[in-house]
Amino acid sequence: MKTVLKWAGSKVRIIEKLKRHLPAGQRLVEPFAGSCAVMMNTDYDEYLIADINPDLINLYRAIKSNPEQFITVASDLFGCGNNSEAYYEFRALFNDLAEARLNRAAIFLYLNRHCFNGLCRYNQSGGFNVPFGKYKAPYFPEAEIRAFAEKAERATFVCCSYTETLAMVRAGDVVYCDPPYLPASHSADFSSYHSGSFGMAEHSDLAARLKRLAARSFPVIVSNCETPDTLSLYRDFNITKITAPRSIGAAAGSIKSAPEIIAKLVPANPQYLPPVPGVDSSLIEGMPARDEECYQ
């Protein structure tokens, strides 16, 4: 099933490979929401979908809350013109809107479908700065919005960091992580995301937290590109190597695919053990404070 957003690194094209590695459980926990391709193509009873990008979570909440109203507002924007002048006017308006509400969510979808390659990137001031994409006829995903709204009835959307999200796990959960990938080279680094970055320190921290969850008998699965660093980080995991399509970062005329890994630690009979005092608590020290508005 396709997604509402165009998204760099979307799992839509490898979802059948990925699903073979996702075990049964009551709730799927995703700390890196992205395009919600995994949520839209699996069938868990519940979903905890998180992302540190408030625009992404605001969009998903707006669709869940009132899909018909969202479709009306967003479709009007798509009819306002597929040209650079209209795009940059909407981008400026988006960056001036302070509140995360319906209009901002609708403009976010417009920008996503009209910008270059569906990228989601921000400058150091937090302003969306992806250039116009110059597409002949950007697709308005009405069917995907309706399907998302239906599936979202099972989901809770929270705007918070991966550290906070992993601290919310409970018995019956399956944890799947699709973080911004470690770049295969400096020129391939697309990890800047909502005026922040996700570098080696964050990847190392994520791997440590997932190992602790696995030690508590939670099923954990993570995707990443295949590099010496990722193979080292997940050396204690069961690793499956796959080839995934690439639509971003490939030179003209080159093969648009790249090696990836699916790393997992999935117990046959999960015990969902409680946190170990003095061990697991140390992994969540120094977490950024929650944005309480994101939890409303």
Q: Is there a domain that residue 209 lies in?
A: yes
Diameter of the chain measured on Cα atoms:
57
Average pLDDT, the chain: 89
Instruction: Give the CATH number of the domain where residue 198 resides.
Output: 3.40.50.150
Task: Give pLDDT, residue 263.
Answer: 98
Residue 5 belongs to some domain of the structure: no
In sequence order, the β-bridge partners of residue 220 are 175, 265
Looking at the domain assignment, is residue 50 inside a domain?
yes
Q: Tell me the per-residue pLDDT of 155-173, one tens digit each, with 9 for 90 and over.
A: 999 999 999 999 999 999 9
Classified as helix, coil or strand, 202 is helix
Instruction: Check residue 99 and give its pLDDT.
Output: 76
What's the pLDDT band for 252 if we cut at 50, 70, 90?
very low
Are residue 173 and residue 194 in the same domain, yes or no?
yes
Query: What pLDDT is attached to residue 247?
Result: 60
CA angle 77, 113, 183 (to 5 degrees): 150
Q: Give residue 201's domain range.
A: 12-62+148-295
Is the pLDDT assigned to residue 296 strictly greater than 50?
A: no
Which residue would you say has higher pLDDT here, 50 or 280? 50
Task: Look at residue 70 in the predicted model and tell me its pLDDT.
Answer: 98
Indicate the pLDDT class of residue 285, thresholds 50, 70 and 90. Answer: low
Q: In what side-by-side order are the strands of the sheet with 46-51?
A: 155-159, 46-51, 27-30, 173-177, 220-225, 257-265, 238-245
Q: What are 234's strand-pairing partners?
A: none
User: Percent of the chain scored above 70 by pLDDT?
Assistant: 86
- Global pTM reads 0.90
Let me know: does 175 contact 21? Beta carbons within 8 Å.
no
Does 186 share its domain with 242? yes
Question: How far from chain centre, in Å, is Cα 45?
Answer: 20
